[in-house]
Amino acid sequence: MTLTVFNTLSRKKEEFAPLDPNHVRMYVCGPTVYDRAHIGNARPIVVFDTLYRLLKLLYPKVTYVRNITDVDDKIIKRSKESGEPISSVTERTSRLFHEDIAELNALPPDVEPRATEHIAEMIALVKRLVDRGYAYEAEGHVLFSVSKMPSYGRLSGRSMDEMIAGARVEVAPYKKDAADFVLWKPSAADQPGWDSPWGFGRPGWHLECSAMSSKYLGETFDIHGGGQDLIFPHHENEIAQSCCAFGHDFYAKYWIHNGHLMVNGEKMSKSLGNFFTIREVLDKVPGEAVRLYMMSTHYHQPLNWTEEGLKQAKQATDRIYTALRNTPDVDVSDALPCAEVVDALQDDLNTPKAIARLHFLVSEMNKAKTPEDAAVFKKLLIASAHLMGLLYKTPEEWFKGSSPEGLSETEIDALIRKRADARKAKDFATADAVRKELADKGVLIEDTPAGTQWKRV
């Protein structure tokens, strides 16, 4: 089967044909580091990490670039509100972001450029646009002249009036047209800034991605990804400034966008009390369960986040690890994912179908009549799950994971020994009381031929 993806630019599913079959290049918009990432930010991380894993399986070389925006008005505002230096805000929140997404089993990108380290490239890009007549200077700002690009709006498929109204584009007296967007803007003395041909200032948000993608991937490349909320104005503006600066009729060949994340059917909002950071969710359930939940809905569709759905994802992951624990260990170093899982992912990342196949492999492993047959399915299951960023723990690590509010492993083992002694003495009342005590504290026990096993729930 051939890889197909839904291309926002053409509004249809297309067969993926990279510009260079020996080197696939992908750019995905990363975080603006002013606060902890919320659960909606996790969705593109999981989606494009899964795509990255698949591409690495299918092609000899893949370069995945995901930026960090560390100069932005939100960062400046947060610094002023907290009194924390901007550099401290961005370093701290970048570190927390990396810690959180590591628990989702997200692979690091090949390149993770920071905006502040690429100001020279941004200034050069602005100068190029000015020299080519696509940008103009006004009151210390440099703006892109949207009227100079007839195809502007092709990605979002909306009229100019619709785009301006939908994005609440700032109307400023120095603009020639309301839709013109900022490439460079002046900075006050107490704001971060750099010297430029247009004075002391800083880049507009859209500029950084064009500058950094062209440096690491070339003036044109294969895939540009991000959330649907970035289609306009961010990605539309990236296309405009990149095509006009470099003289190409396209920027990225395929534009892939994941759907929004809703919470109980509503848009996530602090005012509605349904706003969760990734860390808040990870404090409830392990990252693999969060990842499984994220992939249970096709990436192109909205994901409705509920506590019940998260609970079910955790239970589903528990069942898989229980099945793994009940089968002999196998060496998966040379194992390959099953063809059905690969085919599902090649069909525009059909992760729900791939997950269904994982459950089928679990069922076949459980039904296997011999240890040798079980081992075959176990290897397929683990290799297939690894392709999807799942099952990286041993069953012991999964079930005996840390629980800061619960019993320690030492305490659990002591209670299990107490129960075993009570059963040996035929003191079944004490044995039942210990089982209940463990259950009340989130620990379930199971008596097996190999001894008593336990897991947190």
Contact (Cβ atoms closer than 8 angstroms) between residue 380 and residue 359: no
How does residue 64 score in pLDDT terms, banded at 50, 70 and 90? very high
Mean pLDDT (whole number) for 158-168: 63
User: What would the mean pLDDT of 270-292 be, rounded to a whole number?
Assistant: 93
Residues 211-221 have a mean pLDDT of: 98
Helix (H, G, I), strand (E, B) or coil at 90: helix
* CATH class of the domain comprising 263-398: mainly alpha
Tell which CATH architecture fits domain 4-258.
Answer: 3-Layer(aba) Sandwich (3.40)
Strand partners, 114: 68
d(C-alpha 170, C-alpha 357), whole Å:
49
Where does 88-199 show beta strands of DSSP type E? 135-138, 141-144, 181-186
Q: pLDDT per residue over 368-401, tens digit each?
A: 999 999 999 999 999 999 999 999 999 999 998 7
Q: Looking at the DSSP assignment, which residues form a beta bridge with residue 358?
A: none
Distance from C-alpha of 389 to C-alpha of 107, rounded to nearest angstrom: 9
Within 148-288, strands assigned E span 181-186, 201-203, 221-227, 252-258, 261-263, 266-267
> How many of the other CB atoms lie within 10 Å of CB of 434?
21
Q: Does residue 421 have a pLDDT over 50?
A: yes
Mean per-residue pLDDT, 110-128 = 98
**Amino acid 165: pLDDT:** 59
The total number of residues shown for the chain amounts to: 457
206 by Cβ neighbours in 10 Å (0-12 / 13-18 / 19+) ranks as: buried
Flag whether pLDDT at 175 surpasses 70: yes
Using DSSP, state whether 194 is helix, strand or coil: strand
The DSSP code sequence of 313-333 is HHHHHHHHHHHHHTS-----T
Residues 6+ apart with CB under 8 A from 436: none
Q: In angstroms, rounded to a whole number, what is the distance separating the alpha carbons of residues 49 and 64?
A: 9
Q: Is the pLDDT of residue 441 over 80?
A: no
For the segment 294-326, what is each residue's pLDDT rounded down to a tens digit? 999 999 999 999 999 999 999 999 999 999 999
Question: Would you call 100 exposed, middle or buried from its count of C-beta atoms within 10 A (0-12, 13-18, 19+)?
Answer: buried
Which ranges in the chain are annotated with CATH 1.10.730.10? 263-398
Helices (H), 146-246: 160-167, 205-217, 236-246
Location of each CATH 3.40.50.620 domain in the chain: 4-258
Amino acid at 141: H
Predicted model pTM: 0.89
Three-state DSSP class for residue 190 = coil
pLDDT level of residue 404 (50, 70, 90 thresholds): very low
pLDDT at 258 over 70: yes
For position 163, what pLDDT does the model report? Answer: 62
pLDDT for the residue numbered 405: 52
> What is the spatial distance between Cα 130 and Cα 136, in angstroms, rounded to a whole number?
6
Q: Rg of the Cα trace of the chain?
A: 26
